[in-house]
Structure 1
Amino acid sequence: MLQSMTGYGKAFGTFFNKKITVEMRALNSKGTDVYLKLPGTYKSYELPIRKMIGKALERGKVECLITEESIDGNAKVSINQELASAYYQQMKTLAVKVGEEPSDFVTAIMRMPDVLQTKESEVSEEEWQEVEKLIQEALKNITQFRQEEGKSLVADFTTSIGEIERLLQEVPKFEEVRIDVIRERMRKGLEKLQEKVDENRFEQELIYYIEKMDVSEEKTRLQHHLDYFRTTMENDGAMGKKLGFIGQEIGREINTLGSKAYHADLQKIVVEMKDNLEKIKEQVLNTL
């Protein structure tokens, strides 16, 4: 079944005294683009996380956010007292030098670089396994979301393909009419020239134009491409690119029909076919 490239998935759990949340969003993209935002504690696992996401989602622009927060309220933060003291002494000396009254420098010092430090504890194998489970759960949720969106894509594709097929079935009723139009146009042209008409030659010329106007092959190929599009929709996996190629072939046959139309009503049919094909092309861009 088809899947959309758009999706959202989330999972969270606890490990000892921390809550871990994994959140993913996916949008359409030609390739696989994974953007990760991780706590410092999990930076060493960036490569395996990327591989997990790429393997599960195949294609799309994916944003993955992993956060951790303390449950007991004890944040793992420390003050670099040596650095803070050095800042304090220098600020105090500067204040005396410029003639300023010494004031409360602590607030300013706490904002200085590297004064506040986060204690990054080493991630145990057990903790990584829990994080891995949450990533897999988020991937499962985002895949389910994509599958639900895929159902809507299938419905839209089915409607547009069905409409092109319906219009294709309207083509034969205009084929005989346009031949009569060409025959009448040729006769009137000869009458204006006041030339004697050689009926055998006239019929030969008419057959030549009829052969040039014949759209039997185009109709057959177009129907084949429509059937192939339907069959491909039923396959599993990433079918978006393949559907795009089939859509291009559908477009070629519709364009050829238009170039051989020579009839106003047949041209209208071709325009409506193109309109439905544009809808297909737009949806294909969001298909996995």
Structure 2
Amino acid sequence: MIKSMTGYGTAVKDNGKVKYSVEIKSLNSKFLELNLRLPKAVSDKELTLRTECSKLIERGKVNLSVNVEYSDQTAKASTINADLLKKYYTQLQQIAFELGDKQVSLFELALNMPEVIANNDNEVDEEESRLLLEAFYAAVEQFNIFRADEGAVLSQDLTDRVELILTYLTEVEAVEMDRIPLIRERIGHYLEETVGKENVDKNRFEQELIYYIDKLDITEEKVRLRSHCTYFQKALKASDSNGKKLGFISQEMGREINTLGSKANHAGIQQIVVKMKEELEKIKEQLLNVL
């Protein structure tokens, strides 16, 4: 069954020391456009998350955000290298004294010197990494459930519209038999008005009429359109169904509908063809959001 490219999933994993929250949102896109928002502590997991997203999400404009919370807020707090700070401060005082500076902001300047403040959130241990991936996979699972539910709604809508096209095709067949007598009558009147009734070669007229009607025959278009619609419905229910494949089938449906309209030479059929085109355009719009 098909899935929608629109999706949402979230999951939280907590081991008592740290809690990871993962949120995934997506909209339709021809390719995978992945935007990751990760805390610095798990920045080294970006490549892993991107690789898994490409396998599990496939396509869509995806936003993945990760949030981390520690039960002990001091566990990952920054630390100050006091010895280095004192050394910087003493040196700055000496230089300031030699230059006659008022020494107003020396402490702040020393505090911002390299390696005075050390961050402890540069990396996470193996247990935390495993917890992060558990939260990620749980969010992906919810995300795919959302996509499948949306896909079921899309599938029903697409099925209904294809059935409507087939209904319109039946209406075409119902009025099709009126075409030949009308064409014959119209051409006959035109010849009589142009060259005169007594000058019309009946045998030649019948030969030309058969050739002309054969050019306007829509039997092949009807057969192919019905076949494409049936194939579309079959592909819609297949386990490997995807939006690109359905898009190709809809293009073939469009070709047959257009040809049918151009060859109809009948106002009633052309009006029905317009209705077919309306439904096909709605199908193509829906397919833009199918995975």
Measured against the shorter chain, the TM-score band is 0.7 to 0.9
Map 1:94-243 onto structure 2 (within 5 A). 117-120=118-121, 122-195=123-196, 196-237=199-240, 239-243=242-246
Q: Is 1:272 aligned to residue 275 of structure 2? A: yes
Contact 1:32 1:54 in 2 (8 A): yes
Q: Is the contact made by 1:23 and 1:138 (CA closer than 8 Å) also made in structure 2?
A: yes
Which blocks of at least 5 consecutive residues in structure 1 are unaligned?
A: none
After TM superposition, the structure 1 stretch with the greater mean CA deviation from structure 2, 249-258 or 124-133, is 124-133
Q: Report deviation, 1:78.
A: 2.4
Which residue is equivalent to 2:52? Answer: 52
Secondary structure at the counterpart of residue 236 of structure 1: coil
Structure 2 CA distance for partners of 1:270 and 1:90, relative to 1, 3 Å: farther
1:182-238 C-alpha deviation (Å, 9 max, x unpaired) = 212211211222432222211111111110110001000000000001011111245
Q: 1:252-267 counterparts in 2 under 5 A?
A: 252-267=255-270
* Separation (CA, whole Å) in 1 of partners of 2:86 and 2:257: 75
Residue type of the partner of 1:236? S
SS at match of 2:68: strand
Aligned to 2:254: 251
Greater Cα shift, 50-59 or 248-257? 50-59
Deviates more, 1:103-112 or 1:39-48: 103-112
The answer to whether the 8 A contact 2:6-2:26 is kept is: yes
Percent pairwise identity: 43
For residues 249-286 of structure 1, the C-alpha deviation after alignment (integer angstroms, 9 at most, x for no partner) is 00000010011011111111111111100111111111
SS of match in other structure, 1:168: helix
Contact 1:34/1:62 (<8 A) preserved: yes
Instruction: Quickly say closer, same or farther: Cα 1:153–1:114, change in 2 above 3 A.
Output: farther
2-structure distance, mates of 1:190, 1:228: 45
Does structure 2 conserve the Cα–Cα contact (< 8 Å) formed by 1:12 and 1:134? yes
Q: Which residue in 2 is equivalent to 1:78?
A: 79
CA apart distance, 1:42: 2.0
Alpha-carbon separation, structure 1, partners of 2:160 and 2:86: 69
Conservation of the 8 A alpha-carbon contact between 1:58 and 1:238: no
Is the Cα contact below 8 Å between 2:3 and 2:150 reproduced in 1? yes
Instruction: Give 1:67 shift.
Output: 1.6
For residues 13-65 of structure 1, the C-alpha deviation after alignment (integer angstroms, 9 at most, x for no partner) is 22342211111111212122322222222222222222222211222222211
Name the count of aligned residue pairs: 287
Residue 269 and residue 77 in structure 1: after superposition, are their counterparts in 2 closer, same or farther (change >3 A)?
Answer: same
Q: Scaled by the length of structure 2, what TM-score is found? A: 0.87
Matching residue's letter, 1:147: A
User: What letter is aligned with 1:165?
Assistant: L
Q: Are the counterparts in 2 of residues 88 and 105 from structure 1 also a CA contact under 8 Å?
A: no
How far apart in 2 are the matches of 1:150 and 1:111? Answer: 54
Q: Are 1:88 and 1:109, in contact at CA under 8 Å, matched by a contact in 2?
A: no
> What are the Cα deviations for residues 98-119 of structure 1, in whole angstroms up to 9, with x where unaligned?
98x7657767987899765431
Q: What's the C-alpha RMSD, in Å, of the aligned pairs?
A: 2.8
What letter matches 1:8 in structure 2? Answer: Y
How far residue 137 of structure 1 moved from its aligned partner, in angstroms, is 0.4
